[in-house]
A and B are shown apart, each in its own frame.
Chain A
Amino acid sequence: MKLVTPPRVSPQAFDTAMQAFAGVVGKDWVMASDADRAAYADTYAPGPQEQWPSGAAVAPASVEEVQAIVRLANEHKTPLWPVARGKNLGYGTSAPRMAGSVVLDLGRMNRILELDPTLAYCVVEPGVGYFDLYEAIQRDKLPLWLSVPGNAWGSVMGNALEHGIGYTSYGLHARNLCGVEAVLPDGDLVRTGMGAMKDNPAWHLFPMGYGPTWDLAFTQSNFGVVTKAGVWLQPAPETSLELVFDIPEADDIGWVIDTIAPLKISGLIDQNVFIPSWLGKMVLKGQRKDFWDKPSAIPEWRVAELLKEHKLGYWQVALRLYGEEPVVKARADVIKAAMARNLKAAPVENWWRTGDPINAYETTMGVPSAVPLQMSDWIGGRGAHMGFSPVVPATGKAVLEQMKLSRKIIDSFDVDFYASFTIGGRFANNVNMLMFDRDQPQQIETMKKLFNALIDETAKAGFGEYRTHLGWMDRVMDTFDFNDHAFRRFNEKVKDAIDPNGIIAPGKQGVWPSAYRDQAKEGRV
C-alpha cells in the first residue's frame, strides 16, 4: 500500500518523524514499507483497504517509549492510532480512522504484571491476548476463569476498551476494568482510581477512586493511550450447569427476553445470556452454497426446511450457571419453571464439576478460541463480516420492535438475516451479522447501503449502536443528537483542551480534534 501521509505533512517531514521514532524504538520497530502498511490495513474492509490507510506503524516496548513517541508525534504533527493487538475484526482491524495516522502498535507490551487468585484480578499490558492470559492461569493452576469474546484472538485490555462483550458472569468487559494507567496526549502519565496515590494496593480493587472517575473515559476514546489496566476475573466455580433451550419461532424472542431479563436483573442469573439465531449454528456446518445456492436471501420456506433438517430452533438459549452445586440446582429450578410457562420441551442439561475436562470451544466457560471466525467461510472466498449492533431495553416489546425493524430493512436488501441478542442486564446488545465476500464489489455496495439504512432507521426508532466500524463512526456519532449533539461537542472540548495538536486517534468514534476537524468528511462510507 503506497504511502499516504497525515494532512499537511510532506513525505520528507514524515520520514524525519519516522527516523525520530526509530531513535526511540529501534529501526526494526518502525514499520513504514508498502508491505507494512498493507499488513496494518483493515483486513475485513468493506471495499478497498485504501479507504483507511495508515502512514506507518511503530511498536514501543515500554511506557517510557510510548511517552517518548507521543511527545515526538506532537513535535512532528504525525497523529497516532493506538491499537492493543490490532484484532478489532469487523470494526476496522488495526486501521486508523484518519488517513496517514501512524498505528501505535502496543503488541510488544505483553507482560502480565499481576495475577491475583485471592482477590481475582490481573494487571495486564495492552499486548496480552486472551490466549496468553488463559495459558498463564493454566500453567500456575490458578482458580480463575476468563470472560472471552466470540473471537478471542485479540487483547484482553483492547477488547474491554472497545466495550467488547463476553458470555460469562464477567461478560461486560469494560466493567471489569479497574484502575488504568494512561499516557496523555502531551506525554504525561496518569493513573486512575486509587492508583492516583503512589503504590496504593487498592488500585485495581476499588472501582471509583477519589474525585472524577476517568477509567471509562479512556474507553472508545482518544483522550490517551492506556498502557496498563486492572481487569477483574471470575473465581473458578465449583460446578457449572448449562441449560440448552431450543426456541422454535422467531417471534418467541419476545417472551424469552421477558422471562430471562428479570432473572438477570434480580441476580439469579449471573451470566451475559447469548441468544443467537439459527444461522449462528449453520455457519459452522458448511458453506452457504451447500444450503442455498442463489445470491438472494435464503427464503423463509427454506429456513423452515433447514431448521427441520438440522433439528434447530430459530433461537437457541444456552444458559450457564456457575457456583456451588446446591445453589446452581436451586437456580436452575427457578429458570426451568419460568421457561416452562412458554416452552414444553425440557432443556438439555450439561453439568460440569471441578476436575472434569473443559473442551477448547467452551466460550461460556472462558476458554479462548478463534473458531467463531470460521463464519467467514460461510460466504466462501475472502469472507468477511460487519456487525450492526444497536442496544435495546431488555423487554420483549423493545426487542421485537428492533428485530422487526432491522429484519424488514435487511429483507428489503435481499440479504440473510442473522441476529443475536445478548442480555447484559437491563439491556440487550443486538448484533446483526452482515457477511460478505471481499472480492464481490456488488455485494459490498449492497452492504454499505444496508448499513447506512440500518443506522438511520434504527436511530429514528430511538436506538443507538454500542460500537461500529471506522467508516460509520461519524454517522453513528451523528445519531447521538440530544441538545444539538452536546455529547460530541463536550468530547471535542475536552479533546482540544488536552490534545491541542490532535495527536491521539483523531476521529475515533466521531470525536475530532480541531486540528483535523476538516478531515471528518473523509473516510465515511
Chain B
Amino acid sequence: MKRGLTIAAALLLAACNQQEAAPPPPQAAAKGGPPPPPPYQMRPEAATGSRLAASDGQRAYEVHCGYCHLTGGMGTNLLTKQRMMAGEPPENGLLTNRTDLTADYVRQVVRMGKNAMPQQTRVDITDAELDAVALYLGKAK
C-alpha cells in the first residue's frame, strides 16, 4: 500500500515533469525515480455514420472520453490515485480495467459529472454513443 502510494505520487510527479523530453533508461523507475511521462496516445478516428444510431462502444469511448481517460490522461491520473488509496492496483485508474462499474453508473457520471469531471452534453457524446460506452465499460451487473 505504501509502495503503491509512492508509485502514484511518482506518476503525478511525472505529470508535471516537463524536463524529460526523452524517456530515461528503464531502470530509473526501479531505482525509485519517477517513471517517464507517457507518450501521447492517439484516439481512433470518429465513426462516420450517424451519431444518433447505435455505435461501437470501444471507439466511442476512445474518441469521446479519450481526452482524459486514456493512459496519462487527467481522469486516469486522478483515478489512479483514488483507486490506489482504496487499496486497488494502479491499473484500475483506467476505466477499461474496472469490473465494478455498472452501465447506469457510467451514464449518470457522464451526464452529471463527478468531482473533477465536468458533465457532458449530448453534443459531446450522444445518447446512442453513451449507451454504447456504458455497455462497453459497465462490466458489473
Instruction: Decide if A18 is an interface residue (CB 8 Å cutoff).
Output: no
| Complex: A367 Cα to B73 Cα, angstroms | 12
Partner of B74, one of A135, A364, A373: A373
Q: Is the interface of B mostly helix, strand, loop or mixed?
A: loop
| Complex: A42 Cα to B22 Cα, angstroms | 39
Stretch from B33-41, B91-99, B133-141 contacting the other chain = B33-41
Instruction: Decide if A68 is an interface residue (CB 8 Å cutoff).
Output: no
Check B43 against A131 for contact (C-beta < 8 Å).
yes
Instruction: Decide if B30 is an interface residue (CB 8 Å cutoff).
Output: no
| Interface residues in A104-146 (C-beta closer than 8 Å to B) | 105, 107-108, 129, 131, 134-135, 138-139
Can you list 19 A-B pairs, Cβ within 8 angstroms, ordered by A?
A31-B121, A31-B123, A36-B121, A43-B118, A57-B121, A107-B121, A242-B18, A244-B18, A284-B15, A356-B22, A357-B23, A358-B21, A359-B23, A361-B18, A367-B40, A371-B77, A372-B74, A373-B116, A382-B115
Partner of A370, one of B9, B39, B74: B74
A359-B38 CB under 8 A given contacts A350-B19, A371-B15: yes
Check A383 against B42 for contact (C-beta < 8 Å).
no
Assign chain A's interface to a size class. 35 or more
With an 8 Å Cβ cutoff, the count of chain B residues facing the other chain is 44
Check B41 against A360 for contact (C-beta < 8 Å).
yes
Check B111 against A35 for contact (C-beta < 8 Å).
yes
Check A286 against B120 for contact (C-beta < 8 Å).
no
Residues of A within 8 Å of B118, CB to CB, are 43-44, 89, 93
Partner of B115, one of A59, A134, A371, A383: A383
Check B119 against A370 for contact (C-beta < 8 Å).
no
Instruction: Decide if A340 is an interface residue (CB 8 Å cutoff).
Output: no
Q: Is the interface of A mostly helix, strand, loop or mixed?
A: mixed
Instruction: Decide if B101 is an interface residue (CB 8 Å cutoff).
Output: no
Check A376 against B116 for contact (C-beta < 8 Å).
yes
A44-B118, A139-B45, A359-B39 known; 13 new pairs, CB 8 Å cut-off, are: A38-B119, A40-B121, A59-B123, A94-B121, A240-B21, A284-B12, A318-B18, A348-B19, A359-B38, A360-B41, A369-B74, A371-B15, A371-B77
Chain A, Cβ-Cβ closest to B115 = A382
Interchain nearest-CB distance for A351 vs B (Å): 7
Interchain nearest-CB distance for B127 vs A (Å): 8
Check A360 against B38 for contact (C-beta < 8 Å).
yes
| Complex: A361 Cα to B77 Cα, angstroms | 12
Residues of A within 8 Å of B52, CB to CB, are 28
Interchain nearest-CB distance for A366 vs B (Å): 11
Check A360 against B37 for contact (C-beta < 8 Å).
yes
Instruction: Decide if B6 is an interface residue (CB 8 Å cutoff).
Output: no
Check A374 against B115 for contact (C-beta < 8 Å).
no
Q: Top 9 nearest A-B pairs by Cβ distance?
A: A359-B37, A284-B16, A43-B118, A107-B123, A39-B121, A352-B21, A360-B40, A370-B74, A376-B116
Residues of B within 8 Å of A364, CB to CB, are 18
Residues of B within 8 Å of A59, CB to CB, are 123
B interface footprint on A233-271 (CB within 8 Å = 1, 0 otherwise): 000000010101000000000000000000000000000
| Complex: A376 Cα to B118 Cα, angstroms | 11
Check B123 against A105 for contact (C-beta < 8 Å).
yes
Instruction: Decide if A50 is an interface residue (CB 8 Å cutoff).
Output: no
A108-B123 CB under 8 A given contacts A350-B20, A357-B23: yes
Instruction: Decide if A363 is an interface residue (CB 8 Å cutoff).
Output: yes
Instruction: Decide if A362 is an interface residue (CB 8 Å cutoff).
Output: yes
| Complex: A134 Cα to B43 Cα, angstroms | 11
Instruction: Decide if B72 is an interface residue (CB 8 Å cutoff).
Output: yes
Instruction: Decide if A86 is an interface residue (CB 8 Å cutoff).
Output: yes
| Complex: A405 Cα to B19 Cα, angstroms | 32
Partner of B122, one of A36, A370, A374, A376: A36
Residues of A within 8 Å of B113, CB to CB, are 43
Check B116 against A377 for contact (C-beta < 8 Å).
yes
